Amino acid sequence: DVKVTQSSRYLVKRTGEKVFLECVQDMDHENMFWYRQDPGLGLRLIYFSYDVKMKEKGDIPEGYSVSREKKERFSLILESASTNQTSMYLCASSFILAGAKYGYTFGSGTRLTVV
Amino acid sequence: GQQLNQSPQSMFIQEGEDVSMNCTSSSIFNTWLWYKQDPGEGPVLLIALYKAGELTSNGRLTAQFGITRKDSFLNISASIPSDVGIYFCAGPPVSNYQLIWGAGTKLIIKP
């Protein structure tokens, strides 16, 4: 069964800490994404990557960075955590087939609380 | 960023009722996707639509790709307690393979 695995389900961090959220996929997908989910706001794209060592900003990149050193791993970094980054973070990977057929698979999410 | 208009935002229904939700966009889409998110989990794909006018079923779920390519709807027949969760529509605008997401429809079923 194909999987996207996020390293932590729940995290509590202090304001100002550097936080690493890890995501690993076993499907050999080229594309990986980091979203945050807040009530009433749906899924908002933070960063995405279409290849190793490649990254692109999404809609809300401020306060975040990413790293993709290997195809299967995409890390989200909060350089200095703040309370407004308390949220559910979702990682996804995808492929695109001919004819624009999509396969997006999500991890189970990491609920981060910054105190 | 661009977002799809998904409605309703939430629904409180009785078990056994039918459910209908929809998404609209100002842009033409070439694919419509419907996802469900169970509490505490990531979204899971329910139905994918690839052609205007396409009507696709997955058990009690039925989704349609609008003729104008700017809308889609999802119907759930005879709802059951495990249908609770958040339903998202998503799709890529033409010439862009990055997904745009609706804000979600939260389904709550009264026993």
Distance CA B29, CA B46 (A): 18
| pLDDT for the residue numbered B21 | 97
Per the omega criterion (within 30 degrees of 0), is the bond before B111 cis?
no
How much is the mean pLDDT over chain A? 91
Name the minimum distance, in Å, from the CA of B3 to any CA of chain A. 9
The pLDDT value given to residue A42: 85
> Per DSSP, what are the bridge partners of residue A106?
A92
**A interface residues, B as partner, C-beta within 8 Å:** 4, 9, 40-45, 48, 58-59, 90, 92, 96, 99-109
Angstrom distance (rounded) from CA A55 to CA A43: 19
With CB atoms and an 8 Å threshold, state whether A102 touches B31: yes
Listed in sequence order, the residues at least 6 apart from B26 whose beta carbon sits closer than 8 Å to its beta carbon are B2, B70
Give CA–CA dist B8/B69, Å, rounded.
20
Count of residues in chain A: 115
Nearest CB to A42; choose among B31, B41, B88: B88
DSSP state of A46: E
Distance from CA of B102 to the nearest CA of A (A): 6
- Give tens-digit pLDDT for B54-101: 999 999 999 999 999 999 999 999 999 999 999 999 987 666 667 888
The secondary structure of residue B83, as a DSSP letter, is: G
